[in-house]
């Protein structure tokens, strides 16, 4: 390694801080359309997305998976889990994907962002429970309890490419709640579970293909449970979320997923019983209050109030 002039280095980065804080950078509103290739690195310009959906997938007990195993076996487990997650993100046309050790996160924006993100999250959950873990447990009988945990959140985002120009040391930096809240949801979840924030549930709750059980039984919202995301501050409507216990049905999952992606919302088999149950839930004071707060915040962010 070449010699480092520590004094000059610290002076240079301090100068960068002073320059950055001396005046505010430009923020370019990109609405719902963002081109990652156009992100600047040297210019003090951030691009703003009006709304983005983050899906985070983490592998439970990942730090214990390498114990008493050969390096090749540990690598195989990580590759199987993370590789599967990234492939799913790619199939659902995630606009940005980042791998982070034992997991990954995908960002979705533009047309159909919530549909693509939620369908990707349920597919990751299904992959974990139905395919990944059964194969791992069959190969290693003493494997620690593991599986993928999924979280989904949304918010406006600021993004800029940060790093050293003309080197490989540069990446997009995402400023906003979406990734952070999705990560908090994934942390709270157990293996094979998916937790979504309040904003995401507001959208899901109005879709018959996602909010209730499939045609294999009487339609019911029982597949979703209330959950308080404790790490999200009190007073933030995102805090009152929902936890999904089900996977895609082997029979109806493919057609339901296709319907959601094509913009479908209503099923002919969903009865007044389901609608009554959903209406009763919406009347519960804490969730109505949280929903109103989310709507007010969204309106303020979009300049409507």
> What are the structure tokens assigned to 264, written together?
């479908």
- The C-alpha angle with vertex 114 and arms to 128 and 237, in degrees rounded to 5, equals 95
The pLDDT value recorded for residue 243 is: 98
Element (H, E) at 98: strand 96-100
Of 274 and 214, which is predicted with more confidence? 214
- Taking the CB of residue 81, how many other CB atoms lie within 10 A of it? 28
DSSP annotation of 97 reads: E
> What are the structure tokens assigned to 57, written together?
């997938």
Once rounded to an integer, what is the mean pLDDT over residues 61-79?
Answer: 70
Query: What 3-state class would DSSP assign to 241?
Result: strand
Poorest-confidence range of 173-177, 226-230, 266-270? 266-270
The pLDDT value recorded for residue 300 is: 76
The pLDDT value recorded for residue 117 is: 98
**Cα 15 from Cα 34, distance rounded (Å):** 30
- Taking the CB of residue 168, how many other CB atoms lie within 10 A of it? 7
The pLDDT value recorded for residue 137 is: 86
- Taking the CB of residue 259, how many other CB atoms lie within 10 A of it? 19
pLDDT exceeds 80 at position 61: no
The pLDDT value recorded for residue 218 is: 85
The pLDDT value recorded for residue 272 is: 66
- Taking the CB of residue 118, how many other CB atoms lie within 10 A of it? 26
**Cα 156 from Cα 32, distance rounded (Å):** 9
The pLDDT value recorded for residue 69 is: 57
Confidence of residue 145 (pLDDT cuts 50, 70, 90): confident
**Cα 74 from Cα 84, distance rounded (Å):** 15
Task: Please provide residue 16's backbone torsions phi and psi, each rounded to the nearest 5 degrees.
Answer: -65, -40
Confidence of residue 25 (pLDDT cuts 50, 70, 90): confident
Query: What 3-state class would DSSP assign to 50?
Result: strand
Of 302 and 111, which is predicted with more confidence? 111
Task: Please provide residue 290's backbone torsions phi and psi, each rounded to the nearest 5 degrees.
Answer: -65, -40
What does each C-alpha distance from 290 to 117, 152, 156, 270, 296 come to in angstroms?
Answer: 22, 17, 18, 26, 10
Alpha helix stretches (DSSP H) within 130-204 = 133-139, 177-188, 198-204
pLDDT exceeds 70 at position 212: yes
Greatest extent of the chain over all pairs of C-alpha atoms, in Å: 74
**Cα 51 from Cα 303, distance rounded (Å):** 13
Distance, C-alpha 9 to centroid of its chain: 37
The pLDDT value recorded for residue 303 is: 63
Give every CB contact of residue 70 below 8 A, 6+ residues apart in sequence: none
Poorest-confidence range of 108-122, 158-172, 199-213? 158-172
Residue range 25-301 forms a domain whose CATH class is: alpha beta
- Taking the CB of residue 88, how many other CB atoms lie within 10 A of it? 23
The pLDDT value recorded for residue 279 is: 67
- Taking the CB of residue 155, how many other CB atoms lie within 10 A of it? 23
Of 171 and 251, which is predicted with more confidence? 251
Poorest-confidence range of 13-17, 203-207, 210-214, 248-252? 13-17
Q: Give the pTM.
A: 0.86
Once rounded to an integer, what is the mean pLDDT over residues 196-207?
Answer: 95
């Amino acid at each position: 390694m070449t010699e480092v002039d520590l004094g000059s280095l610290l002076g240079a980065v301090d100068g960068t801080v002073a320059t950055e804080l001396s005046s505010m950078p430009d923020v370019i509103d990109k609405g719902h359309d963002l081109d990652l290739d156009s992100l600047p690195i040297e210019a003090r310009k951030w691009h703003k997305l009006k709304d983005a959906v983050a899906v985070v997938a983490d592998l439970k007990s990942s730090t214990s998976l390498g114990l008493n195993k050969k390096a090749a076996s540990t690598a195989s487990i990580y590759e199987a889990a993370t590789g599967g997650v990234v492939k799913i993100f790619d199939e659902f046309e995630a606009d940005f994907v980042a791998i982070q050790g034992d997991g990954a996160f995908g960002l979705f924006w533009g047309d159909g962002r919530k549909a693509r993100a939620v369908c990707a999250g349920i597919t990751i959950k299904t992959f974990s429970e139905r395919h990944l873990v059964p194969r791992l447990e069959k190969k290693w009988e003493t494997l620690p309890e593991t599986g993928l945990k999924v979280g989904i959140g949304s918010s406006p985002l600021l993004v800029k490419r940060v790093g050293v120009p003309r080197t490989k040391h540069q990446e997009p930096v995402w400023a906003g709640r979406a990734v952070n809240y999705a990560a908090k949801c994934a942390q709270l979840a157990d293996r094979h579970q998916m937790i979504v924030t309040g904003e995401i549930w507001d959208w899901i709750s109005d879709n018959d293909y996602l909010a209730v059980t499939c045609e294999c039984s009487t339609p019911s919202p029982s597949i979703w449970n209330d959950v308080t995301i404790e790490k999200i501050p009190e007073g933030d409507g995102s805090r009152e979320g929902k936890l999904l216990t089900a996977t895609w049905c082997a029979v109806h999952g493919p057609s339901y997923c296709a319907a959601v992606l094509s913009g479908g919302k209503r099923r002919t088999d969903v009865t007044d019983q389901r609608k009554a149950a959903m209406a009763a839930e919406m009347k519960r004071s804490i969730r109505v209050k949280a929903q109103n707060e989310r709507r007010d915040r969204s309106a303020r962010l979009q300049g409507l109030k």
